[in-house]
Structure 1
Amino acid sequence: MRQIEGGTFSMGSVGWYPEETPVRRVRVDSFWIDETPVTNRQFAAFVAATGHVTAAQIAPDPKLYPGMLPGMDVAGSLVFSPTSQPVALDDFSQWWRFTFGADWRHPYGPNSSVDDLDLWDHPVVHVAWHDVSAYASWAGKDLPTEAEHEFAARGGLEGRDFAWGDELAPDGRMMANYWQGLFPFANTCDDGWERTSPVRSYPANGYGLYDMIGNVWEWTRDWWEDNPAPPRKKHPQACCTISNPRGGTIKSSLDRDQPGIRIGRKVIKGGSHLCAANYCQRYRPAARHPEMIDTSTSHIGFRCVVRA
């Protein structure tokens, strides 16, 4: 782990996506954070010690999911599947497939294996919120808040678009694992990787942290809010700075598109190997996205913190 001294920074951004606004002054206390995302090797040690079974390895209960189609109550997870041609980018069902038998040990489906694919030093994926919470508790750690993650990802740089400056690929150098080419059908793999990459494959940021941007999205402990409120509205006594914010509430994070399902959404940070210039330019410290806590995918992982 790396120790991050506390400090004040400008959280959020303007000019990218509306959920990143407003820019607000935020202070976080000192904390320690994992140098890399948790790897398959580390997660395997946790499973061996505890016998933990992940959400992707348990068939969903139809009682909890009204309207579930017949035959869908089978264990599995969401796996990215590239298309063969351009498709409408507002329909993610074109490239996401719920794959029976996909889980952290079998990242692309039942016929794949972290052993055969030599993925032990890649970030673990297909882990839902309760899986990462269980790992953190076992390790004596916690999940970072959204503010802690963004502060760490910036690496000491104030107001820059990326974790290394304002240019995505300075002098053509690949600084993170993201999608080059036109998503979701033409990945030129200029960075050398079609999917996840081993941790430490790219330069560390100013705090000595790897993969804070790209490779895999990372869970945080904060409940999702569409737009964080300005400091004076949310904390009228805080003047211009919010100290150690903890995100929204379960009520604010409920999925309004599915009002009958009371499953909240957590904030994920950092972007992934599927972020592209023509789609989801969220390979940035300020970027944020909601994720249902019961959902696992082939592009979401996590790292842990210990607070001083």
Structure 2
Amino acid sequence: MLKVIKYILLPVTCSAVFGCQPNHSASDIDRMVSELTEKAVLDQVFIEGGTFVMGDFGAVQNGQWLPYFPPAAAEDIAHEVTVSSFSLSKYETTWGDFDLFSIETGRPVVLRSRGEEIKRAPFEQNVGQSYYEKKPARVSWQEAKDYCLWLAEKTNLAFDLPTSAQWEFAARNRGSKEWLYPTHDGQLSAGYEASNMDGCVTWTRVCPVGQQFPANPLGLYDMAGNIEEWVNDWYSDTYYQGSHGAKDPLGPPEGQLKETRGHGLGSLDFSFTRAPTVLVSQEGFLTAAGFRCVVHRSKPIR
């Protein structure tokens, strides 16, 4: 079961807009930050590194490479890379986690809608709300990066956003070609409908973290389904073509777009195709996605 921080003993205030929400003293915040950082360390799954074929790894038949996910694109071309051992959070970062980070660092806790930011109460208790505290946080790339680096500061561990290579290696059960999708069994799985689970939004299929599918063999949840996730890499549609044999690839040194990885399980949402995402849309809205943090360390952290 997912361990969650409890707030029920704290005093609450109520309003017509936000309903009843807890008040938090400085000592409450310090305690909750300590609990969150301890949990962030405990939730890290150690993943032994290795060499794998990254991208649209496909298959070779009669001497011709055939992709699993047509139409093949040069930006997704299969290439062999090696990743060192690392640790990755078994869960996506929740709104409860991110709200606490925002409070502790003096950032506003806001509702974003149509380019506007509206102040909201943290730690939403209503399971039907998109900001429910156990649902995955959807934030900008910089906010995700800042959160992971905040954990690094609090724990003295090398927390950061995962690289695209680390994310794919973990989602594919250490790069296995048997894992066509990042589910618990590597296949498109039936029987886990979002509409059947408490707190899931049917039309978006976004659920509280750790609910929609069983964990994959490494112990990671929601690498498939739920929401797309930020990785550290810049995006380039030519980077994969020159990356064969790379060790711990970091992506292009600069760029205009950041990558997200992972999608829903619809017929066109292939989870191992990279998804370049604009940081700011033409309308000026920040692009938002979910995320989880990695620890760059070649040995288990506990």
**What's the TM-score once normalised by structure 1's chain length?**
0.64
Q: Deviations over 1:31-86 (max 9, x none)?
A: 111111100111122112111247xx5xxxxxxxxxxxxxxxxx944xxxxxxxxx
Alignment of 1:52-63 (within 5 A): 52-53=107-108
> How many residues align structurally?
222
Spell out the pairing of 1:1-308 with structure 2 (5 A cutoff): 1-13=44-56, 14-16=67-69, 18=73, 21-53=76-108, 76-77=112-113, 98=114, 100-101=116-117, 114-116=124-126, 117=128, 119-125=132-138, 127-140=139-152, 141-156=159-174, 158-159=176-177, 160-164=179-183, 165=185, 167-169=187-189, 172-174=190-192, 189=195, 193-194=201-202, 195=204, 196-201=206-211, 202-230=213-241, 234=242, 241-250=245-254, 253=255, 264-272=256-264, 276-277=266-267, 280-282=268-270, 284=271, 286-294=272-280, 296-297=286-287, 300-308=289-297
Residues 156 and 206, structure 1, Cα contact 8 Å, conserved in 2: no
CA separation in 1, counterparts of 2:222 and 2:94?
12
Q: Could you tell me how far apart the structure 1 residues matched to 2:240 and 2:266 are?
A: 28
Distance 1:29 1:157, change over 3 A: closer
Query: Which range is displaced more, 240-249 or 201-210?
Result: 240-249
The percent identity for this pair of structures is 30
**Counterpart Cα distance in 2 of 1:120 and 1:167:** 30
Shift of 1:136: 1.1
Whole-angstrom CA distance in 2 between matches of 1:8 and 1:106: 46
Cα distance in structure 2, aligned partners of 1:225 and 1:106: 38
Distance in 2 of aligned mates of 1:151 and 1:115: 35
How far 1:155 sits from its partner (Å)? 1.7
Q: Decide whether the 8 Å contact of 2:172 with 2:186 is kept in 1.
A: no
Contact 2:78 2:240 in 1 (8 A): no
Normalized against structure 2, the TM-score is what? 0.65
Please give the alpha-carbon distance, in whole angstroms, between the structure 2 residues aligned to 1:157 and 1:133: 25
> Letter of the aligned partner of 1:133 in structure 2?
K
Aligned partner of 1:5: which letter? Answer: E
Partners in 2 of 1:46 and 1:36 — Cα distance?
A: 16
| Structure with higher RCO (Cα < 8 A, 6+ apart) | 1
**Unpaired stretches in structure 1, ≥5 consecutive residues:** 58-74, 78-97, 108-112, 178-188, 254-263
Structure 1 residues 290 and 53: CA distance shift in structure 2, 3 A = farther
